[in-house]
Amino acid sequence: MDFDSRSPVVVLAGGTGGAKLARGMADVAGDDLVVIANTGDDVELYGAYVAPDPDLVSFHLADRIDPRGWGLDGDTFHVMEGLKELGVDVWFNLGDRDLAYGIRRAELLAQGTRLTDAIAELTQALGLGARVLPMADEPVRTAIRSGGTWVPFQEFMVRHRAALPIEDVRYDGAADATLSPEIAQALQSARAIIVGPSNPVISIGPILAVPGLAAALRDAPAPVVAVSPIVKGQVVKGPTEPFLDWAGVTFDAAGIVSFYADLLDGLVADETLPADSTLPSHTTDTMMSDPEAAKRVASETLAFAEGLA
Ligand code: GDP
């Protein structure tokens, strides 16, 4: 199949791993990059609409991510200090300018703007040519059942530091979400679709739970390739291991393949697949510790995917 060189390269992403790959892919695909970002982590707090994964991706793409790994570089925390002075339980920390993004987004949504357009306004303000599309305009919220109680995602991650036992996972609102025209168009016209190295259950799972999205991946003419979020048999950050365990797949490249099942045409990982696996794979160092490494991983992944077309 021939693809126009200007057809999009689509990356599905959560926060950390997916965002780093997206940054590397921007060096390779430029403004043809379209990121589909998880909004299952979104939370309304302090009068703001906080969208951690779309913002992490956007801040990475703008080279504005703070070295701490989240938020805007060099941000201050005066508002959080002020809220604490007022006795507010500041369990979720946000920098001042980071909060400004959330306040502006809440304002746009209150005016009836779609989340897709609200995020587009913010990414344009950051000077991005690449697009960051929320997985849906409707609210979808990930929740984890622990000790028989459903815990909202950010409370699980931030208040409980992801240390609670995982009994079940659900994506509230997913059944009522719809495939946005921007995502449908990007997937249909893509030259490659990359599932970023993000947590399959809590970062990519919500995206795939949007009705029609997994089918659109299957129907897309472009090859679909995942980059494994497991590096040297370990996790770089976050609770990927307990969530894969909950999903009943092994914590290795074969487990990632079985989680995504028939969605994939190929896998990029730093380990080989079992000899009986028929899925094409590309083995390389997938650790993206700096922009050069992210660019190399993105470039190898795109070349591998295009070779499968
Ligand atoms: P979160 O939303 O911040 O939890 O982030 P993600 O779900 O996007 O990312 C968590 C996953 O990213 C973990 O499984 C990490 O091992 C993986 N990850 C982080 N950095 C890298 C990297 O440089 N290379 C690869 N292959 N995976 C990474």
Q: Which of 199, 256, 259 to mutate to test the pocket of ligand 1 (most atoms within 8 A of CB)?
A: 199
Ligand 1 atom 12: the closest Cα is on which residue?
17
User: According to DSSP H, which parts of the chain are helical?
Assistant: 16-29, 52-61, 78-85, 96-110, 115-125, 153-154, 181-189, 205-208, 213-219, 240-247, 253-260, 291-308
SS3 label, residue 281: strand
In a domain, 1, yes or no: no
For ligand 1, pick from 237, 243, 284 the residue to mutate: most ligand atoms within 8 Å of CB.
237
* Domain span holding position 21: 16-308
Nearest atom in ligand 1 to the alpha carbon of residue 70 is: 3
Cα gap 11→16, rounded to integer Å: 13
Q: Is residue 5 part of a domain?
A: no
Cα 118 from chain centroid?
Answer: 18
**What is the distance in A from the centroid of ligand 1 to the CA of 199?**
7
pLDDT digit of tens for each residue in the chain (309 aa)? 444 446 999 999 999 999 999 999 999 999 999 999 999 999 999 999 999 999 999 999 999 999 999 999 999 999 999 999 999 999 999 999 999 999 999 999 999 999 999 999 999 999 999 999 999 999 999 999 999 999 999 999 999 999 999 999 999 999 999 999 999 999 999 999 999 999 999 999 999 999 999 999 999 999 999 999 999 999 999 999 999 999 999 999 999 999 999 999 999 999 999 999 999 999 999 999 999 999 999 999 999 999 998
Calpha distance 309→306 (Å, rounded) = 5
Q: At what angle do helices 16-29 and 52-61 cross, to 10 degrees?
A: 40
264 within some domain? yes
Cα-to-centroid distance, 53 and ligand 1 (Å):
12
- Please tell me the distance between residue 196's alpha carbon and the centre of ligand 1 in angstroms: 8
Number of domains present in the structure of the chain: 1
Distance in Å, CA 111 to ligand 1 centroid: 34
Instruction: State residue 309's pLDDT score.
Output: 87
- Assign residue 270 the CATH number of its domain: 3.40.50.10680
Q: Whose CA is nearest to atom 15 of ligand 1?
A: 236
Query: Could you tell me the distance, in angstroms and rounded to a whole number, from the CA of residue 298 to the centre of ligand 1?
Result: 14
Q: For residues 3 and 112, what is the distance between their CA atoms, to the nearest angstrom?
A: 36
Ligand 1 neighbours by CB, cut-off 6 Å: 14-18, 20, 53, 197-199, 203, 227-229, 231, 235-238, 240, 286-288
Tell me, yes or no, whether 45 lies in a domain.
Answer: yes
Which of ligand 1's atoms lies nearest the C-alpha of 228?
26
Quick check: is 10 in a domain?
no
79 inside domain? yes
pLDDT of residue 155: 96
Q: Which amino acid is at 117?
A: D
Nearest to 206 by CA among 116, 158, 141, 138: 141
Q: Determine the atom of ligand 1 nearest the C-alpha atom of 294.
A: 23
AA letter at 245: D
Spatial contact of 106 and 44, defined as CB atoms under 8 Å apart: yes
**What are the distances in angstroms from CA 251 to CA 128, 238, 271?**
35, 13, 12
Dihedral of the alpha carbons of 160, 67, 289, 292, in degrees to the nearest 10 = 150
Q: What spacing in Å lies between the alpha carbon of 202 and ligand 1's midpoint?
A: 11
Contact 122, 107 (CB under 8 A): no
The alpha carbon of 300 and the centre of ligand 1 are apart by a number of angstroms equal to 18
Q: According to the model, what pLDDT value does residue 1 have?
A: 43
Domain-located, residue 114: yes
The answer to whether residue 3 is domain-embedded is no
Question: Residue 225 is inside which H or E element, if any?
Answer: strand 224-227
For residue 235, count CB atoms less than 10 angstroms from its CB and return exposed for 0-12, middle for 13-18, buried for 19 or more. middle
